[in-house]
Structure 1
């Protein structure tokens, strides 16, 4: 006797039942473009140039790639998406993944946003677990030096201590 698995990854009618036909067609279009390396490279380059030149392309980015892969720019904007997914027993991860900050204030701001995602997820079945990236709370140069076991300057040691404190703060929030 064969037991039917609870989860069937081959049954896309279940996997995408929360999307309308219009949303599915849009997703198909996006994935068709993303699957073409040349088109993807051109689109990424064009987007970077457009943003650098302050051209009005944010709406285009938001209504295509961003809307498909992201629930929102903040917890409030993401709420509708994760509540909708929860109706179909799909859990969501609030992944605040801003990287590239250069200042301690920027790293602290990212840490605070991550802590807010942990607050929102606590006791919320729609948000089964939390994640964070250390690269949002420290400079890439510092992390590379630590990884390479290079000798850190006094300032770098202080910065690394602050990074560890941020991580400790987030881990403490998880319990």
Structure 2
């Protein structure tokens, strides 16, 4: 059997579909209830955070994780990531500007400069949620993959299996 570059480095082969997305709520910059209600994940504040989110393709399956809380959702990306000020989401069949939504989190609005540096903008990735749970119901068990990147290819089969099973066994969507 030929080794791929991934297995040569000790990593599992990526299935080409699954992505880990960290939905950081530190400093109340984002709010998971907003993301569940309106169908998105987001990242920003520095280019390092938003660059990885921009790599997630339309059709990719995302596993949403809140740091120190656990896995809270699985869904499919419906459009490329865009800056929050330019994002339009499908809300109950109507296209609505992200900034006009009734949001709890500021999503980059706390930046003092009204025209933040392009590197500091919040980016929004539209998602159709298959299943979500609130923070109190999050899946958090030893051995699940977690990472400091805003998004990365999810190669950990244990995590894929556990999170998929968790959301398939009666954990209702919002």
- TM superposition score normalised by structure 1: 0.22
Q: State the structure with more CA Rg.
A: 1
